Amino acid sequence: MTEPVAASGIAGLAWLLLALPALGAAVLLLGGKRTDRWGHLLGCATVIATFVYGAALFFTTLGQSPEARTSELHLFDWVPVNALTVEFALRLDPLSLTFVLLITGVGSLIHIYSIGYMAHEAGRRRFFAYLNLFVAAMLLLVLGNGFVTLYFGWEGVGLASYLLIGWYQHKPEAASAAKKAFLMNRVGDLGLAIAIFIMFKELGTTQYTEVFARVGELSSAEVLAITLLLLLGACGKSGQFPLQAWLPDAMAGPTPVSALIHAATMVTAGVYLIARSNPIYNLSADGRLVVMIIGAFTLLIGCVIGCAYDDFKKVLAYSTVSQIGYMILAVGLGPLGYALGIMHLLTHGFFKAGLFLGAGSVMHGMNDEGNIRRMGGLAKLMPITFVTWTLGYLALIGFPFLSGYFSKDAIIAAAFSQEGWRGWVFGGVAALGAAITAFYMTRLLLLVFLGQPRWKELKSEDGREYHPHESPLSMTVPMIVLAFGSVGAGFFFSSGDNLAGWLAPSLGELQEQHGVLGHTAVNFLTLGLSALGVLVAWLLFGRKPQPVRRPERVSFPVRAARADLYGNALNEALFARPGTWLTRALVFVDNKGVDGLVNGTAALLGGSSGRLRRLQTGFVRSYALSMLLGAICVLGALLMVRFS
Amino acid sequence: MSWTLIALLLLPLAGSLVVAFLRGNDRLAKLVALAVSLVELVFAVLAWVAYDPDGARLQLTSSVEWIPAFGVRLSLGVDGIALVMIALIAFLVPVVIGGSWADKLPEGRSAGGFFALLLAMQTGMVGVFAATDVFLFYVFFEAVLVPMYFLIGRFGGPNRQYAAMKFFLYSLLGGLVMLASVIGVYVAAADKLGEGTMDWATLVTVTRDLPLSTQIWLFLGFFAAFAIKAPLVPLHTWLPDAGAEAPVGAGVLLVGILDKIGTFGFLRYCLPLFPLASQELAPLVLVLAVIGILYGSLLAVGQSDMKRFVAYTSIAHFGFIALGIFAFSSQAGAGAVLYMVNHGISTGMLFLVVGMVMARGGSRLIEDYGGMAKLTPVLAGLFFVAGLSSLALPGTNSFVSEFLVLVGSFPNEPVFTVLAAVGMVLAALYVLWLYQRVFQGPVRGTALVDATGGPGAAVDPERAALPDLGKRELAVLAPLVALILVLGFYPKPVLDVITPSVGATLSEVGVADPVAQEGK
């Protein structure tokens, strides 16, 4: 860790990073219908301006020596009470600046894409206001210089996510999905909050610099507790087991939202949190082990469920769950993997955002149809979408020399580079995940873009025929830009350890070791497994025409996967239903029991319930009576005093 | 001798008398009431400016002899805690007057009577927080019941007689128990000093030396009254009735100010007067506080009536305040006081927006509404803002206070704090679920059908012509939203006033901050 210096020069304007998108959101929300005509342009302009400033800041910092790359900009004291001082201040360092570029870069592209995608929406201005709000909150999350400012941004993005998932709020399922997302996130936030409480109790501070400098003063149990509680927070925000169930439901929101918030940026905040807290995680091998277990388990269930869905966006959502599992696994590896987790986060940000935008483009041209069994053969009709999507697909399954090949394989190799059973278990799970990923993604490709055009015979829900067509430029250009990222980002980040070296002041040096399996062996193993996944998918879905209705007589594993591996059923049985009963019982008890008891006692004291009723009805008399009662009490008390 | 508090006390009373004589002219009565409350706000600002946070324990003091035989004086003065509460009163009363401007009053009731009672209550409320003579405090404590009793009983909902009497009896009984303790304190002082006094600052120096057993009895007398006021479970059942039946404006003041007399009483009377008993009994209060948070939240989830809903969320919030007070750290204490202010703002706003929904649909029942965001988007948005403040989202005022209470309570009381923190999740549940039922989904519900004249349960959004918020309603809510955001981002000016007084209170209890300040 390098000590931060005070921000100066161009960095002194870093508050603009928060102020610009926040201003955009404020103008659009307060301006009302007056801003309808140019609201979307303002929304884009603020984020693009933020990106330009962020890039300038990035290159300025790049020109400085690694020791000088960490700086802080104090804005004001937010919550000061005696020993507690929560600053509202920004920390500019390689890690946060990397995120600034990701958030504002992908954010700008998705803002532009949304102009076309949301063109027919009545409240498009409000949509851009929420997107701007999201960008501001997400930037606060990564730029804040302490755990409480992180928490501010953390819940702020949760709010934006809630508003955007529930965008189609006249649809009950969208409203429910939004509420579910917020609630499950709050459960995670509870962990983050309690971790903050422990830090304040033991260290008297919640600012990164001081916490990280003094974390060694904590007992190992306290460190373990903090790592686990932060992990709980990460699980909520990043859709990791056991708090993963909200993320697929969140696909009820418009597709640009899914791309920006629920694939590229917000859901990776958990990875950021753990990477940012690396001085804490470095002190607890047990804590890191739990992180790895959660990551590995989630990456498996994510890709298993991803195989079973027929909804385009839900498959991608479970794919996101699974890919974030890889990132969590990576940061759980500690110094072996912090930088790798961030690298995969960045490449994933490109190709997953691209995949989602592609899905949106397909649905846009297909009367908002999301069922892949009703698609097929769209490659010829949507050539740009097809090509860009396929590049993203290849990047995700780790096709040689595309982005995912560098970032995902590096994580698998790092998992194998541990000693003993850990190397075999975590490496094995990660490699297995690569095979399943290749399988479900190929299934998507075959069912959507290749094969028979099954939609020709069908009509969409609103009774219209399908006329698939390519999307307008405002939508395809962002997809093309992201496709370049899908292709080249991995190579750029990993050549000469570019990214790991740049991030070293924030994350420490990336370490390497030789565990149970070497890098080359892992490379061939992963390629082989991925090829196997593609092959199996082609054998099952590529050779013969697929039915429009999904087969119902299927084996138990498929049924389980279709039911989200019973995650929702479990939540329902453990929390929702008992909670409903408890609430009903309490309402009954409060009305009949507690109130009745107190009323009854009052009645008893009053001699009879009749007298109480008279108190309640005969107003003047009873008022006089109670005054009399009071006077008698006062007199009695005074007399007692006299005689005591 | 400072005149500021005397002016703050007498101005609304004078205004009340004037307004009471304007019964024939509703419009003039309203205008006079509003003008008086705005002048009062100016006085409150003057008081704020005159107050020195690092100055004496009690400031802006004045004192006149009243009942020399018992050493009772008319003494006024404020510390930082009382000052912020008086500022909150001065802020909320004009908002309430604006919010009640167009209320439909029950048959035969005049607006003049209503606004006269509001102003009379303002005098009582200021008096409770400004009194530094314990007997004078008791007098105001009881006196403030009377206008509220009439506001509920004469201007309330269908079940107003029952609710008003319940409210009155609970408070009166609590007050009488407290009176016994007040007399006990007087006797103790008379024994020790040779002559009786009711002066708070003098009494503090006497009662803290009393033996623990005596302190416990006297503490319980005060505590009973305050635990009814700031309702702690199981003494809470009057609040949902009173809150539901009270007219909206009175409800704002009931939950926003009157209930805070209880938590203020904990801080001003229970803690400094009986430090040993406070420490001895703190675990008991903490248990009640945590029960209140969880029980109140769960009941809020289960409510079918919007006004009762607001009342139950308040019971949960009072649990947080009590937790912060009895956790004995400066962060938790300052958080609790800030919570008292913030709760007045956010719950006040929640009451007002609920009133605006009811003014359109004519029903208090949640099930009578649905999908209103489609018809009244601005009302929906502002309802949502009030809800966000209620669930303590960062960026809103309530986050700062809830965070301070929890982070400050944790060092001394980790178990209670973690249990209380579960309330954060429940708060998200009750707010978002209410919002979903009233505002989201397809337009539906009998209240909206009635309002729009359509048959059946489903409403045609095109034909439904429910008016969105008007200019007056926006003007009433705008200052609340502004405060919610300003105090969410920059609470420092208020915290700077509160913190020294909380620190003084804690040193009167004789406890040290669990997390010590470096270099001090």
User: Do A270 and A324 meet the contact criterion of CB atoms below 8 Å apart?
Assistant: yes
Give yes or no: residues B425 and B487 share one domain. yes
Do residues B71 and B157 share a domain? yes
Inter-chain residue contact A190 with B514, CB threshold 8 Å:
no
Residue B451 has a pLDDT of 61
CA A514 – CA A405 distance, rounded (Å)? 20
Residue of A nearest to B405 (CA): A197
Contact list, B162 vs chain A (CB under 8 Å): 616
CA of B469 to nearest chain A CA: how many angstroms apart? 13
Q: Tell if the CB–CB gap between B169 and A615 is shorter than 8 Å.
A: yes
Question: Is the model more confident about A465 or about A361?
Answer: A361
Q: Do A76 and B490 touch (CB under 8 A)?
A: yes
**Does the pLDDT value for residue A643 go beyond 70?**
no
| Range in A86-90, A441-445, A632-636, B375-379 with the lowest mean pLDDT | A632-636
Share of chain A above pLDDT 90, in %: 49
CB B248 within 8 A of CB B83: no
Chain B residues touching residue A171 (CB < 8 angstroms): 441
Q: Name chain B contacts of A200, Cβ cutoff 8 Å.
A: 407, 410-411, 515
For residues B160-165, average pLDDT: 84
Which of B212, B241, B273 is where one domain is finished? B273
Q: Do B518 and A204 touch (CB under 8 A)?
A: yes
Long-range contacts, stretch A523-529, CB < 8 angstroms, 24+ apart: A523/A409, A523/A413, A525/A431, A526/A398, A526/A408, A526/A409, A526/A412, A526/A431, A526/A434, A527/A398, A527/A400, A529/A431, A529/A432, A529/A434, A529/A435, A529/A438
Contact (CB<8Å) A82/B373: no
Mean confidence (pLDDT) of chain A: 86
Domain total in chain B: 2
Residue A100 in this model has a pLDDT that exceeds 80: yes
Residues B361 and B263 in one domain: no
Residue finishing a domain among B273, B297, B330: B273
The residue from B222, B252, B273 where one domain ends is B273
Structure confidence at residue A235 as a pLDDT band (50, 70, 90): very high
- pLDDT band at residue A201, thresholds of 50, 70 and 90? very high
Domain extent for B411: 280-514
Q: What is the pLDDT of residue A12?
A: 85
Same-domain check for residues B329 and B227: no
Q: Tens of pLDDT along A451-472?
A: 888 888 877 777 788 888 888 8
Q: Is residue B519 part of a domain?
A: no
Of A81, A175, A630, the CB nearest to B330: A81
Calculate mean pLDDT across residues A545-562. Answer: 79
CA distance A324 to A291: 12
CA B43-B48-B50 angle, to 5 degrees, is 90
Pairing of β A71-81 and β A5-6: parallel
Strand partners, B365: B305
Kindly state whether A598 is in contact with chain B, defined as any CB-CB distance less than 8 angstroms: yes
Query: Is there a single domain that holds both residue B190 and residue B68?
Result: yes
pLDDT tier for residue B456 given thresholds of 50, 70 and 90: very low
Specify whether B479 is located in the same domain as B439.
yes
- pLDDT given at position B520: 39
Say if A590 is an interface residue toward chain B (CB within 8 Å): yes
Mean pLDDT of all residues in A242-258: 89
Burial class for A644, CB neighbours closer than 10 Å (0-12, 13-18, 19+): exposed
pLDDT value of position A518:
80
pLDDT tens, residue by residue, A266-291: 999 999 999 999 999 999 999 999 99
Residues B208 and B305 in one domain: no
- Per-residue pLDDT of A138-164, as tens digits, reads 999 999 999 999 999 999 999 999 999
Question: With the CA atoms of B127, B131, B137 and B143 taken in that order, what torsion angle do they form, in degrees rounded to the nearest 10?
Answer: -10
Q: Give the residue on B whose Cα is nearest the Cα of A199.
A: B407
Query: Are B359 and B434 part of one and the same domain?
Result: yes
Which amino acid makes up residue A264?
A
Chain A contacts in chain B segment 106-125 (CB below 8 A): none
Q: Can you tell me the distance from the alpha carbon of A206 to that of A211, in angstroms, rounded to the nearest whole number?
A: 6
Q: Is A204 on the interface with B (CB under 8 A)?
A: yes
For A626-630, which contacts have Cβ atoms below 8 Å and span 24 or more sequence positions?
Answer: A626/B168, A626/B169, A626/B172, A630/B142, A630/B172, A630/B175, A630/B176
Using CA atoms, how far apart are residues A78 and A90, in angstroms rounded to an integer?
Answer: 12
CA nearest to B149 within chain A? A623
- CB-CB under 8 Å, A162 with B441: no
- Tokens 């509703």 sit at which residue? B26
What residues of chain A, 599 to 638, have a C-beta less than 8 Å from chain B? 602, 615-617, 619, 622, 626, 630, 633-634, 637-638
Question: Is B1 contained in some domain?
Answer: yes
Residues B209, B242, single domain; the answer is yes
Is B337 part of a structural domain of the chain? yes
Q: Are B274 and B184 in contact (CB under 8 A)?
A: no
Structure tokens at A322: 């699974």
- Considering only CA atoms, which of B238, B252, B267, B268 is closest in space to residue B327? B267
A476-494 average pLDDT score: 87
Instruction: Report the residue of A36, A79, A194 to disrupt the B interface, i.e. the one with the largest count of B CBs within 10 Å.
Output: A79
Binary contact (B235, A598; C-beta < 8 A):
yes
Residue B462 is predicted with a pLDDT of 52
Please answer whether residues A437 and A397 qualify as being in contact, where contact means their C-beta atoms are separated by less than 8 angstroms: yes
- Give the distance from residue A189's alpha carbon to the nearest chain B alpha carbon, in angstroms: 9
Distance from CA of A46 to the nearest CA of B (A): 21
pLDDT in tens, A46-65: 999 999 999 999 999 888 88
Tell whether the model's pLDDT for residue B448 goes beyond 80: no
Q: List chain B residues with CB under 8 Å of A180.
A: none
Q: Are strands B59-67 and A84-92 parallel, antiparallel or unpaired?
A: unpaired
Residue of A nearest to B301 (CA): A583
> Is B513 an interface residue toward A (CB < 8 Å)?
yes
Under an 8 A CB cutoff, do A583 and B299 touch? yes
State the average pLDDT for chain B: 90
| Interface subset of B 135-194, CB within 8 angstroms of A | 142, 153, 161-162, 165-166, 168-169, 172, 175-176, 179-180, 183, 186-187
Does residue B298 share a domain with residue B253? no
Helix (H) or strand (E) holding B331: helix B330-361
pLDDT score of A601: 57
Closest by alpha carbon to A331, among A264, A284, A275, A290? A275
Q: Considering the domain boundaries, does residue B520 fall inside one?
A: no
Q: Do B256 and B350 lie in a common domain?
A: no
Instruction: Locate A578 and state its tokens.
Output: 């008992």
Q: Which helix (H) or strand (E) holds A37?
A: none
Range in A8-22, A531-545, B113-127, B452-466 the model is least confident about: B452-466
How many percent of chain A have pLDDT more than 70? Answer: 91
Inter-chain contact A156–B395, Cβ cutoff 8 Å?
yes
